[in-house]
Structure 1
């Protein structure tokens, strides 16, 4: 696979920040030279940029390798859900088919036509598939990887992009072995399959490949989580952020990762709230930008899988009922978000104070200091921080109930 393991480990240990270090330096210098007015458009442009960021993931391999099932699994869907990639169909087209994420449509998985034809040439295939469009490639095989898979990997590497070998349907392999033998060592069997894949790829010119053994139906087992971590680790920060937010909630750890990323954007939203001429909330003396609050809370819910559509998909996948999952969530923020709901969740004191430590997520400290203790900035910051904490705890409870962990 492209990229060495030490650089992957470094990348995986870094949490993506809302702004790059260079952008933070520019914010600080612009504030020092031009004040708040100069900072506001930079922050607004950054939020727009994040909203427009696209991630395109190509999934290729022979027909029947399990590409569609993997695409559905990565989007938290079953084959019967609306928007799911069709599984078990014969490929009749040479056109890539794009499948947007149900909540974050800027994340798209592309099912590329099979590579099994004897006339296959990697260069012409990638040109037809619009190679430049994709951020990385997942090469899927259900049995052995073939020469065409290796040719494709070499060409992808030559053109400067990442690729990942995925050996699918591992659960079916183990089931077949279990039917054949009364006793066997599952780990030993997995290592045999892995060694066979590595050996086959080695013979056709891919030295020391990393192969992920997965079942798209048992995402908490085998190498599914390791695959996700590898994909995430190799992406640049802004793409890494959207990739993580688009992951299905397979574990409490994924929920916590999403929460950390969302937390890093709160100060930017609060800064805009502090600058745009906030509207007082009825019954509350402090002003707050209600539109920013409502929009952010709805986005938190979607990213954390707590909107009704996401909960229904999770219920379908895990065999739980919507009632069970909603009972586990028990958050006042799951219904319609109105100014009254925001009032109820918000505050026990008339003047909000937020410590420097709470602000130091990835914020230039001077940004926080431009607003007073009773400002819209601090009110928005506190409400969004508390709302995110509440929704994160709800999402963690939902995951525990859904997967009975």
Structure 2
């Protein structure tokens, strides 16, 4: 797992410095600013290639849009983009997919093209083709490699020619270009390692999840986190959980110092509303909300309750502020230690208004919710596998 430790270490150091300089008030203002900074990290992803390769459909599937949804591109026949067109998913503004103009003009120059689309804006490039990759696609990839920009060849419409698509010879054939000498500069083995076969309308089949994870894994830590959250329906759930866990201490400190209120039986104040929304986000991202369960149930021809009955975590079923307060009280009464990964936060936790107990209990609450939700995810996976086997 690629860790975000360096990023979080920096946040911790800044919070400790603010506490030493100006006490709780200065530290509280900073923790609010740090959360906003993390939430506003934006990733820009470029989608280009040949015309009629399915760029709009690829963006829709990557972002979880249904055709015609607000914010998504239309897949109706058109002349194609003449300039970069941005698409972002409502509620998840930290990731923008850009549909770029096609790359097949005879006078195509990769340098001019990349300057025109503002190459430095993008974290990575998907280069799509529904058939043979052209000289222009190879030249673009060659220039991107020279610039140090991640790129991925995506062979679309693979559902029309799926037999043997994982075979290396298939990849070689699909990556053949008109001007072999231009492609030789790129290195065929290097290209094959970045070659994926997808159906733009079936994001759970073929290489679609793998090509999204390739971009995530090549991105800097906070951009990777933003991609995992924005494209959570395609993310590896364990990677997503681990990424969320990294920022739990920041959320715990936030709960203790930003608008905390008295809670019955708790010996300290806490922002229960905020904690409830954090746990609601965990549930959504891990696919335990009713719309996600319903969609998955339909894919295996079952009513939603067949999957929702596998959920055992109380707050995955019924999430209320009262339930969150009761769970926080339970962890407070246990007075358990924070995990070894979070021991470095203890000096800051000890300076909180409720002392170490408040921050440590909140960390344990959020940590437990993620672990319990993952157990529910695994139970649902087993149920889906059993249904598909006919058990």
Alignment TM-score, normalising by the size of structure 1: 0.79
Distance 1:79 1:119 in 2: 33
Other-structure match for 1:71: 59
| TM-aligned CA distance change 1:359 to 1:290, over 3 Å | farther
- Whether 1:245 aligns to 2:229 is yes
Of 171, 179, 182, 1:204 maps to 182
The structure-2 alpha-carbon separation of the partners of 1:383 and 1:330, relative to structure 1 and needing over 3 Å to count, comes to: same
Residue 349 of structure 2 corresponds to residue 386 of structure 1: no
Deviation at 1:274, TM superposition (A): 2.5
CA contact (8 A) 2:232 2:240 kept: no
Partner of 2:324, secondary structure, is helix
State which of 346, 367, 370 in structure 1 corresponds to 2:348. 367
Corresponding residue to 1:110 among 98, 112, 115? 98
**1:101 equivalenced with 2:101 (yes/no):** no
Which secondary structure does the structure 2 equivalent of 1:360 belong to?
helix
Residues 199-247 of structure 1, C-alpha deviation per residue, up to 9 Å, x if partnerless? 5385323223234232235555544444233212211111011112233
Is residue 198 of structure 2 the alignment partner of residue 215 of structure 1?
A: yes
> Is contact 1:103-1:302 (8 Å) kept?
no
Q: Distance in 1 between matches of 2:234 and 2:69?
A: 18
The 1-side partners of 2:168 and 2:98 are apart by 30
Aligned ranges 1:6-405 → 2 under 5 Å: 13-17=1-5, 19-31=7-19, 36-79=24-67, 83-87=71-75, 89-101=77-89, 103-174=91-162, 186=164, 190-200=167-177, 203-205=181-183, 206-208=186-188, 209=191, 210-216=193-199, 219=203, 222-249=206-233, 254-276=236-258, 278-282=260-264, 284=266, 286-315=268-297, 319-334=301-316, 337-348=319-330, 351-356=333-338, 358=339, 360-361=341-342, 363-371=344-352, 375-402=357-384
Q: Unpaired runs of 5+ in structure 1?
A: 1-12, 176-185
Given that 1:59 and 1:139 are in contact with CA atoms closer than 8 Å, whether structure 2 keeps it comes out as yes
Any idea what the Cα deviations from partners look like across 1:19-66, whole Å, max 9, x if unmatched? 354444444455556555554333322211011111111111112212
Counterparts of 1:387 and 1:326 in 2: how far apart (Å)?
17
Separation (CA, whole Å) in 2 of partners of 1:203 and 1:78: 41
User: How much does 1:158 deviate?
Assistant: 4.4
| Residue-pair matches, total | 379
SS at the partner of 2:154?
strand
Deviations 1:252-292 (A, max 9, x none): xx112111111121111211222346312245555321132
Q: Is the 8 A contact 2:85 2:100 kept in 1?
A: yes
Contact 2:328 2:362 in 1 (8 A): no
CA contact 2:249–2:345 (8 Å) conserved in 1: no
Q: Which moved more, 1:61-70 or 1:331-340?
A: 331-340
Q: CA RMSD in A?
A: 3.3
Alpha-carbon spacing, 1:401–1:165, altered in 2? closer, same or farther (3 Å)? same
CA–CA distance in structure 2, aligned partners of residues 160 and 64 of structure 1: 28
Could you tell me the TM-score, scaled by structure 2's length?
A: 0.82
Tell me, in whole angstroms, the C-alpha distance in 1 between the residues paired with 2:241 and 2:39.
Answer: 17
Compare relative contact order (CA 8 Å, sep 6+) and give the higher one, 1 or 2.
Answer: 1
Q: Per-residue displacement from partner, 1:309-332 (whole Å, max 9, x unpaired)?
A: 444554555655433343333543
Between the aligned partners of 1:315 and 1:82, the Cα distance in structure 2 is 24
Please state whether the residue corresponding to 1:257 is helix, strand or coil.
helix
State the distance in 2 between where 1:77 and 1:402 align: 23
Q: 1:359 to 1:196 in 2, by over 3 A?
A: same
